[in-house]
Structures are given as structure tokens and as C-alpha cells.
Amino acid sequence: MDLNGKKILLGVTGGIAAYKSCELLRLLQKKGAQIRVAMTEAATRFVAPLTFASLSKCPVYLKDGAVEARPFQHIDFPRWADLYLVVPCTANAIGKFAYGLADDPVSLCFMSCTCPRLLAPAMNVAMYNSPAVRRNLQTLRSFENTYVLESPAGELACGEVGSGRLMEPADIVSFIEGGSLPLVGTSSPTTPSSGGHPRNAPAALFNCHPREGGDLPELNDPALPGHGRTVLITAGRTEEAIDPVRYISNRSSGKTAVALASVFLANGYSVEVVAGPMEAEFPGGAAVHRVRSACEMHRAVMERLSGADALVHCAAVADYRPKDPAQSKIKDSRSQLVLELVPNPNILRDSVAAKKPNQVVVGFALETDHFEEHAQEKLRKSGADALLLNAPVAKDSGFGFDNVNYALVTPGEKVPEMQMGSKVELSETIVDFVNRKLEERHG
């Protein structure tokens, strides 16, 4: 089976083996497959949705995420797919599937899926061998186009030894490609609808249902609040040259901007990004314009300002740059070096000054002390519609992490108490605000 160009929906449920789904996703991509991801709430406690969004370059379908603003997500995702993988598939998910319960993205997709479904169980050996799980697995094997992979014996995460391990991602890929890995419960060589699974099932997986709809229409659904609208996001950091080798910069990874782009795309917006250097990767569908310095970013933003309905200034822009960068590498003399710095243009203030009355502008304020005072002052001076105050001072949050301490500050209102949340949750707060303001200004 050639996976090149195949469209695979990956359902991730809440087991410790969820981290292996990241490896599986990458292996499938290397084979040329396109991947979309749905996650249960429990799965998000093991692997952050932003990880899958970044790897798949597509917003993740979450129960309480902004993507559910689109009312038929549970239909669109399975309809898009050629194959639905649930990896890992927990005992809870197996029970839901067997009894027709659907109250989370993974089970909803299973319920509405008409393409082949491949489940990879993973759980403790006692659970795997329990009568309830064995019965539910047998029930699922009787479902048409539903295949259950083996759970090989070995050392489990809890330290016990027995069946219930997740099949290794490489073996799952080999099975899909048509390898010799057997399916649990194989009893019939030809008729899966009778309850058995054919040995040659992998070769036929993609050939038993007619596909409709093509790619997910994230940007073409009139029901979405961002339909027909464009958002411009600044991202990453800037680098201000000292000489051809050295520069002044900061620690921004770009993860927040990636989360913003994902959530805006899920709300139906066309997304343009002016991005400085950064490590995180943007989801597919975002038009990214690369720059390096603050002056380059300023120029790129002002050129694109008129075409945007909303601007979100997420980039960590250097306030100063060396006045006269050296044209060749400064030699190490171990003597004191004095750099004369000059201010960089203020991209936020200049875009606010040039914006149209119906455009919405949101800025960012990263502060390490006197949070409320500094945020209110920056909001007043900038004239922005709102300011996202964030503070990278808590342990395991801020630069390079998935969580951050934040609050949305708006003119004339008391600064709300800062809360710790994921960068996706931060992004949803901003997108909800932008949606409301645009509705107010456009009627």
C-alpha cells in the first residue's frame, strides 16, 4: 500500500502511550500521508494539542476548542479521511465505540466514520484481560470496516509485564502498508462484514468507501465567524545585527503565534503572518512572510496593513538596534566593547495610527513585574483595542513552553486576574475578542 497522498485521521485517547502517537504521525508523514488529529480531553493531559497542531500543520479537533465553533466538525473530519486510526485506544474508548456512545471528538468521529477504522488498544494487562474489555473488543471486530490490532506482551508503563502494550508505531505503519502483521480475531479470509478480518485487509483499507468533499474547507464555511476575513499576525523574534555574525535578540520560540494561527484558521480566517526567526512551525493554510530585523518587520506589516481585518502583534520585537553595524566580524581583543543603540520603530503604535476605523488591533505586553501598571500604560500609549498581558516568570511557562500566565487587558476596564493556561487557550481568548469586535464594527 502506497501511503503517498492518503488522508489519515488520527484519534488520540488518554493513555500514557499517547506520546507514541507523535512518532506515528511523523512516520506516516514521511510516507507522504496527510494527517489530521482529534483528541479526547484526557489525551490533552498527556500531550499538548499544540504539539499535534504543529506536527500536522492543521488545527486539532478538541471538545472544548475553538474548532467546535464549526458545528459539523465531527462529520467533516471523518468525511475527509481515507482511514481513521485510533492510537492509543483506551479501555474507555473501546467501551464507547462498542456501545455507540459519542461524547468527545474521538468517539464522535468513530460514530460518523464510513471509512475503514483501525484501533490500537493500549492499557494495563489486568484491564486488557478483563471480561468487559474482551467482550467489547469482540463486538468491535464484528463491525464492518473496523480492525483491531494486537496489543503485544511486554513491560508496561506501570512496571508490570503482560499484554496491553501499544503496538510500536513502525509496526502500525508496516501493517497499513500491507505487511504481514496479523489482526486480532482473524477468522475469515474474505468477508470482514461477517465478523472476521481478511489477512489482506491492509491492501484494501482505502478502497471500500467513496470519498467526498476533498480537503477540509476551513476557509470556505460561511457559518464560521472569520469567513471572508483576514488576520495579520506578527510572530517570532527579531535579530538586530552587531556584525555579520553577532546580533541582539531574545528568547521567543514563536509557539504562541503558531497557536494563534491555528485557532484563527479554525475560525475560518485567512491568515497572513510576518515572522521573524523562530523554532515553531506554522500550520498549513497560513501565508508566512519571513523577515529578520525590526525594520524589515515594520515595513512588511505596513505594506500588508490595509488588507487585514484584524492585526495581532505577537512578535517579540527588539526595542533597540546597533546604530552602525560592523561590515565585517569584530575581532576579539578582550577589550571593552561599547555599542551605540538607536530605537527601533514601534510597529504596534504605527499600525494603530494607520489603521481604518473598522480594523481591530491587539498587542502583546510581556512583563516581569508591576504587571497591571505596565500593561495599562502600554495600552494607553499604543491605542490598541486590547493588549494581551503575559508573564514568563512562573516555573515551566513562557518562552519555549506550552503554558503561560496571561490576561486580556481592554481600555477602561480593570485588569483581570492573570491565569495560567495553554497557549491555545490564550489564543482562543484573543480570537473570541476579535470576533466580537469585528461583529460590533461591521454590524
Residue type, 239: E
The answer to whether the bond into 88 is cis (omega within 30° of 0) is: yes
Side-chain-side CA neighbours of residue 149 (13 Å):
31
Please list, in sequence order, all residues whose beta carbon lies within 8 angstroms of the beta carbon of residue 157, skipping any fewer than 6 positions away.
Answer: 16, 17
What's 180-241 look like in SS3?
CCCECCCCCCCCHHHCCCCCCHHHHHHHCCCCCCCCCCCCCCCCCCCCCCEEEEEECECCEE
Residue with cell 491492501: 203
Beta-bridged to residue 377, according to DSSP, are: none
Residue with cell 488498544: 121
d(CA 229, CA 404): 28
Dihedrals φ, ψ of 43, to 5°? -65, -35
d(CA 243, CA 409): 38
Cell (9 digits) for 179: 505487511
The residue annotated as part of the active site, out of 22, 89, 115, 158, is 158
158 is catalytic: yes
Q: Which of 68, 66, 52, 59 is nearest to 18 (CA)?
A: 52
- Spatial strand order in the sheet of 7-12: 34-39, 7-12, 83-89, 117-121, 146-148
Catalytic residues: 158
